[in-house]
Structures are given as C-alpha cells and as structure tokens.
Structure 1
Amino acid sequence: MGNLKQYFFDNKSIPTKFSISYVLIGVLGIVFLDKLISEFFKYNSIMEQGPLTFGILFLLSTGIILFIMLNHMQKVIQRIDNSYRELKDKDKERLVPYEFALNNSIDAIYWFTLDGKFVYVNEAACQMVGRTKEEFLEEMHLEDMDPNFDRQTAKECMINIYNHKNWRLETTQIKKDGTIFPVEVSGHGFMHNGTEYVCAFARDMTQKQEYRTKITKMNQELQKSVEEKDILLKEIHHRVKNNMEIISSLLNMQERRTKDQEMIYILQQSRSRIHTMALVHEFLYLGENLAFINLPNYIKRLLDDIKDLYCSQNTSLEVDLKIERLIFSTNRCIQIGMILHELCVNSLKYAFKENRDNKLLLHIKTKDDLIELKLRDNGEGISSIDDLDCADSIGTQLIFSIVQDQLDGEIEFRNNDGLECNIKFPKKEEDE
C-alpha cells in the first residue's frame, strides 16, 4: 500500500487531471444551476420561496458535482491499484527463478546486518541447523549459531567481511539440538537501499572431513606398506649381494687350488664381474632409492675396486674422471658397469705397465637425447682394431652384446695415443 501511495502522490499527471476535471465539472454545474434557477423563478415568487429553493438547488447541484468527482477519483485510483497489482505480480514471476535457486541451493545462505543480526536465510540454512526462518529472523544473531563468536567478535567479523573481498573461514556451527559440526564459510559485503549488509555462504564440511580422515588413514597405511616393502627390497638386495660374495669366495677358493695361470686369470675375471654386479645391489641396499643409482658414485667405487684387484703396487695410475650427474636404473647400471669393467680390465692388462705414468680417461655426458661414453688409455693401441667385433674373447663379445643388443647403441674403437672407445646410446630406457 505504501508503494501505491508513493505512486499516487509522486505522479505529476494526477493533480493536473483532477484540477481540469474539477474546473470542467464546476463550470458545467454553474451553467446547469443558472439555467435551473432562471426557469424556476420564472414561475415562482422570489420573495416567498427564494432562499429555501436556492439552498435546495445548491445542495443538489453540489451533491451531483461531488458525486461525479468522487466517482472519477475512484476510477482513477482503481486503475492505479490494478496497475500496481499487475506490476507486483510481474515482479513475483520475475523473482521466482531466483527464489527457487536460493531455496534449493546446497549451501546455506544468510544475510546479516553489520551487527550480526539475521535478515534472510534460505531453506538450506534452516535444514542445516534445524531451525525455522521465523526463529532466525526474530532475535537470532551470528553468535547464537556459531559458538566461536560473542557479541563483540561477531560485529568485528561482519565488518571484516564487508571490507574484504573473497573472505573465507573454516569454523563450526551448532544445531538446535546442540550438535556442533564443521563448516566452510565465505562472505561478501553489499549495500541495498542505502543499508549495508553481509551475505554469507556456508557449506557443511562433515562429509568432507570424514573423507579427508579416510584418505589420511589410507595414505598412512600405504606409507607403512611402502616402508615395509622398502625394507623387504633392501633385504633382498643385501642377500643377493651376499650370495654373489659367496660365489666370489668359492671362485677364490678354486683359484687358490689351481696352478694354471690362465685358469687363475679366468677365475679372477669371473670374480671381478660378479663383484661388478654385486656392487650395484650394495648401492641399492645402502641408498635411499631402491630403483635408481647415482651413476658417478657407482663408477668411482667400481674403478677403485678394479684398480685394487688388478694393479700392482708399482703401477701408478692417473684417472681423468668426468661424469655428469645421471640417475640410472638397476639394469642400466649393471650394463654400464659390465662394459666399463671389461674396458678397464683390458687397459690394465694390455696398456698399463709398471714404472711408467699410466693414464686413463673416462668421460660420460649427455648430448641431446643420447648418452656419450668415452674411455681412453695411453697405451700402444691395437693394430687389428677393425677386427675387434669378431674377437673370440668373452670380454669383447660381452661389450658388443651389451651395447648393441641391450642398450641399442653404437660402439667405435680407434687408436688415439692409445686405445679409445666411444659409445653412444639413447638416454631413455626402453622400459620407461
């Protein structure tokens, strides 16, 4: 009704219409009354019946004029009221989708004044805490629903939300029956009809926290399982290494029982090859990663062991070692280790001599998608270098077999102030 009054009094055309209608009706009334009086006194005495007749005619004429004016006003007001009702019905129809969206939202939606009083809640908010809209809107404030706030901190929270965009908070709310549950709240400030409000959205986090707890528990169980498997794998690598050492010890015992120098050398090479593979399992057992090995550390240790096994005290050896920091799998480390073992043993056997400066160069680097390995000694080289791929020695056959068949790489031997071996193979392993 207030809007109707505002429309009626603020509409500038209505006073004009009433004024014009009043003037027209008044003029018509005066003309009609003048004719009526003139006709009446034409047949009657003015002195005897004049005042009473004039009064009656005036009363009748003004009554007719007033009736016409009020009837016109009633019709105008009726039209205004009908227009207002139509406008109100259209507004209701326009707001239906918004009201539906608000009331069917899974999130609780609240409107607060800046002192924390509820002025609007949707159906989800009512269902979340088990209260009716009337209970919310009568006297409830934020602290009546959230036990983490009091009267003062609730006001401070409202001002904080109003002054900050994308405000968020994880807190708790209390149901009507006293149950406390976790919620995630976001809020925004806005102004409507000159009044400052805060709109907040709350989502029940009970189910999410239950999932989070389950996931945390699963992760803990998985972590425990992984740790147990790591321990088991370490134990396996340790046992494999020990078993290889046992085999090496058996070969050593056999070596001491024979006097055939060729057989002794064959047994030494077999022990050395076994040690090369056992060393990989030792690194896996002692390292933090059970799937990959730091290549530089492994090669340094391997060269030291080969030198101790094959070099005499009178044989000096200077090693130029440059290896990029590469992480290789167990299989690839064994493959590289076996290649380097055979190449280094051949250099120690044929190229290096006592009482001279022996030098060994070993460089490993990456270039594009390839790994390049270069090993060179300062011996006399080999005259029949083109026939190395056809050699009958187990070591040479092992080198070509690993490079070409297992690493899918290329190998080249050449004389360069000694024997130089260049190997290239893909950086990416086939089983990756």
Structure 2
Amino acid sequence: MGNPEKLSILVLEDTVTDFDLLRYQLKSDGLEPDLHHAKGREHFLEHLDAHLPNLVIADYNLPSFNGLDALKIVKSKNPLLPFILLSGSIDKEQERAILREGADDVIFKSNLSRIPFAIKRSIKDAQDKKKLRETTEKLEASLREKEILIQEIHHRVKNNLALVSGLLELKKFNSEEKKEYRFINKVILKIKSIALVHETLYQSQNFSQIDFNHFLEELIEYLAQIYKSEEKDIEIKSNDFELSLNVNQAIPVGLIISELTMNSVQHAFDGRNEGQLEVKVVSEKDQQIKIKIADDGIGASDGFAPKQDGGYGSKIIRALLRQIDANVEVNNSEGTEYLISFEKKDVKGIGNALL
C-alpha cells in the first residue's frame, strides 16, 4: 500500500481551482501527500499505472469522463485501492449507487473539511482488508496442503490394505482346506470393505463424507468376484440412490453388509449353486436410514441372530451395530432378510474399534 506517512494520491479533477482547494484543505489538516493531478481519462490512466497511488479521489462530473467510470476502472485494476468521490451535487440514490460500486466515501465539495478524515479512514480500511486477504490466502493455501495430505493418507492406507489383501490372496490359493479358504475369503472381504472407503475418499473432494451409492457399487462388484471363487452363481440386486455417510458410519455399515452377504453365500445357499441377493437402501427419511440385505435361500439357521451369542461373525456384527447405534430385524419366512436401521450422524473422531 506504500508508506502511510507519505501518501501518494491521484486526483481526477478537470478544474485547477478545485484541485488547489483540495491541496489547501489537506495541508491545513497536516496532510502533505504526493498529489498527482489528472484532468481527463487518458491522463488518469497514465497516472494510475505509473504512480501506483495509495488512494484515488475523483470528481463526479467531468466533460467527457466521470467519477463513476473512474471508479469502475480502479476496482477492475485493484479492488482494494481506496476511492473517494467528490461531487458538487448528487442525490441520495446516486450516492448509494456509487457506494455499491465500491467507493469508500462520497464527499460534497461544499464540505471538504471531511476529506482528511475520509482519507485516513479509507487508508486504514484498505490496510485491514489487505491483511485479511493475506491471512485468508495463507489459510486457503494451508487448507489445500492439508487436503492434499489427507488425500495422500487415504491413498496410502488403501494401498497398504491392498498389500495385506494380496498377501492373504496368496495364502488362500495355497490353502487346501475349504474351511480355511472360506475364512481367508471373509477376512479379505473385511479388508476390501475398509479399503473401498479410503479409495472413495481419495477420489472425493469431501474427506469426511463418502458417496455410499458409489461405495456399494464397488463393494457389490467385489462380492461377485468372491462368490465366483466360492463356485456360486449369485445375482446381486441393488438400487440407485443418493446417500452420503460420514466415514465413521460408512466403514461399519460396509463391514456389516460384507459379513451378512457372506453369511448368505456360505449358509443360505447350502447345496445350491445359484441364488439372488438384494442389497438396497430402502428408506432415507428425517436422517433415518434403512438398508435391506436379503437372499432367496433356505433361511440360514447358521446365520446372524440378534439375540443369540452365535459365532465369531455374529459377535463382530453386533459390535458394528452398536458402533452406529443400529437396530436389526431378521425375517426368515422366505429366505433371510435383514433390515438395518440407524440414524445418519456426523460422527467425529477416528475411532472404529469393534469392541
């Protein structure tokens, strides 16, 4: 903004007498800035570029150029450059229009005694705005750096989980026992569910909310690959919907879906090589989410039951349901249907412990 003790002011004024009156008024108030006098448009533009003034004062009415045009030029070049408009007589509506365009003040030539105060205030306001802009730019740059860092963290977490999953895949292919093979498949599916959340976040502009529809599409595609490895021809039905979930809800919900669908494959289709699965968001109202997971199998007696101890998988599902404060309804009348209900929340923190 230049040195505030020696201001540079560009004055657009076609009358030498008015320019001299302005100079006298400033000097009588103890202000002796470098004044640059421009009488018309071309002269004004030359001074504006050459002298880099700290402030512009412009007469409202000139023969072929006016103060409002000058104001628009100044703000297009430097929005923070203070601008004071002088006028012999304008109405209130014109004054309001000039201030809306970005002028710092409007002063009548009959009241030039206000000009020193207006200059000091306008310079101070401009300095404050500049500091605020610089602070804002630093914060925005810092935020961009953090966003890139968070994005990179999600990418690395996803890659590390993929590495662990790959090692388990090698172990699975060397497994000769079907029970061990299935157990490894379930572990890989859990890892894949978590990795998909991080992959979705890595591809997103929002690092706390994920597009659950996109996540579920990717998960179902991977589930289909798992079922093929189980030599099952399972058709999976889903639905398109718009749902964003906080990352601390998305991970347990993804794990619940993975666990329950794998239960269906391993138990509901026992003795069958074909079947159908539904994984759908069936309701989203007033922040209440309902997700249906259903199969057309035999009604899995070895599947998850809300009020029974069950095995390792059932304990995991209960822990995940508690984590998102969810309720589950189970219907075994035609196949097995799970209806998971929970409230959509903005869960803070990073805790996703199962217990």
TM-score (norm 2): 0.67
* Residue of structure 2 in register with 1:103 after alignment: none
1:127 aligns with 2:127: no
CA contact (8 A) 2:263 2:303 kept: no
Instruction: Indicate how the Cα distance of structure 1 residues 427 and 125 shifts in structure 2: closer, same or farther if over 3 A, else same.
Output: farther
The 2-side partners of 1:170 and 1:393 are apart by 70
Higher share in helix: 1
* Residue of structure 2 in register with 1:311 after alignment: 228
Q: Deviations over 1:317-362 (max 9, x none)?
A: 1404253x22222221111100110111122233347665624242
The 2-side partners of 1:229 and 1:384 are apart by 47
3-state SS in 2 of match to 1:288: coil
1:215 aligns with 2:132: yes
CA contact (8 A) 1:166 1:186 kept: no
3-state SS in 2 of match to 1:227: helix
* Residue of structure 2 in register with 1:321 after alignment: 239
Match of 1:161 among 90, 94, 110: 90
1:290 aligns with 2:203: no
Q: Deviations over 1:343-388 (max 9, x none)?
A: 1112223334766562424224322342222222222224588955
* Residue of structure 2 in register with 1:240 after alignment: 157
CA contact (8 A) 1:389 1:396 kept: no
* Residue of structure 1 in register with 2:316 after alignment: 398
The 1-side partners of 2:100 and 2:303 are apart by 76
Instruction: Indicate how the Cα distance of structure 1 residues 330 and 225 shifts in structure 2: closer, same or farther if over 3 A, else same.
Output: same
Instruction: Indicate how the Cα distance of structure 1 residues 128 and 185 shifts in structure 2: closer, same or farther if over 3 A, else same.
Output: farther
| Identity percentage of aligned residues | 24
CA contact (8 A) 2:298 2:335 kept: yes
Q: Deviations over 1:26-47 (max 9, x none)?
A: xxxxxxxxxxxxxxxxxxxxxx
Code of the aligned partner of 1:363: V
1:371 aligns with 2:316: no
1:279 aligns with 2:196: yes
Q: Deviations over 1:97-153 (max 9, x none)?
A: xxxxxxxxxxxxxxxxxxx96999xx999538559xxxxxxxxxx99x975447535
Q: Deviations over 1:269-313 (max 9, x none)?
A: 111111111111111222222222111111111111111122367
Instruction: Indicate how the Cα distance of structure 1 residues 361 and 299 shifts in structure 2: closer, same or farther if over 3 A, else same.
Output: closer
Uncovered stretches (5+) of structure 2, i.e. residues with no partner: 1-16, 34-38, 41-54, 69-85, 350-355
3-state SS in 1 of match to 2:104: strand
1:249 CA drift (Å): 1.8
1:167 CA drift (Å): 4.7
1:396 CA drift (Å): 2.0
Code of the aligned partner of 1:218: T
1:229 aligns with 2:146: yes
* Residue of structure 1 in register with 2:259 after alignment: 342
Uncovered stretches (5+) of structure 1, i.e. residues with no partner: 1-115, 132-141, 172-181, 190-196
Identify which of structures 1 and 2 has the higher relative contact order when contacts are C-alpha pairs closer than 8 Å and 6+ apart: 2
CA contact (8 A) 2:211 2:243 kept: yes
The 2-side partners of 1:266 and 1:253 are apart by 14
CA contact (8 A) 1:276 1:341 kept: yes
1:168 CA drift (Å): 3.1
Code of the aligned partner of 1:209: A
Aligned length: 291
TM-score (norm 1): 0.56
The 1-side partners of 2:165 and 2:274 are apart by 32
* Residue of structure 2 in register with 1:417 after alignment: 334
3-state SS in 1 of match to 2:29: helix
